[in-house]
Amino acid sequence: MKLRVNWAVGIVASYVVFAGGTTAFVVYAISRPVDLVSPDYYAKSLLQNGQMDAERNAAALEGTASVAQDGDRAIVISLPAAQAADARGWVTLYRPSDASADRVFRLKADAGGRQRVALGGLRPGLWSVRLRWSAQGREFYVEQRIFVR
């Protein structure tokens, strides 16, 4: 006995395979965790012009504001000495691969405009140091990538 399949059965079978594959992919995609860069990603995107102004203000300081890695266990933040007493802001250690690992510290520069931040307890890998401060009525922002071993 020879089994014959007509073209209608082939079309139905193709549709069932396609619909099943699409449904399986949708279920898989919905079950995956979605980590945005930050929880308020869309609100921050509206503030992009202010961010760019703060970056330009920091660049206009001609390199006097910087973040440098001091060995494997600390970073040194340097601000202009003229702004040190007036500077108010935050240092964020941002982990691109895991938002729950981020750390935030208050900026507390000494009279010379320097602050040392220990890297103890951080997981090895790529980190981004984000320095945001305000001084003399202007906003400033510097970002530097570091690698913790």
CATH number at residue 56: 2.60.40
Q: Domain for residue 102, yes or no? A: yes
Q: Domain for residue 88, yes or no? A: yes
Q: Domain for residue 69, yes or no? A: yes
Q: Domain for residue 25, yes or no? A: no
Q: Domain for residue 12, yes or no? A: no
CA within 13 Å, CB half, 124: 2
10-residue mean pLDDT profile of the chain (149 residues): values are 81 96 97 75 83 92 84 89 90 89 93 92 93 94 93
Secondary structure of residue 25 in the 3-state scheme: helix
The predicted model scores a pTM of 0.71
With beta carbons less than 8 A apart as the criterion, state whether 107 and 93 touch.
no
Q: Structurally, how many domains does the chain consist of?
A: 1
Q: Domain for residue 109, yes or no? A: yes
Q: Domain for residue 73, yes or no? A: yes
Q: Which domain range does residue 92 map to?
A: 41-148
Q: Domain for residue 33, yes or no? A: no
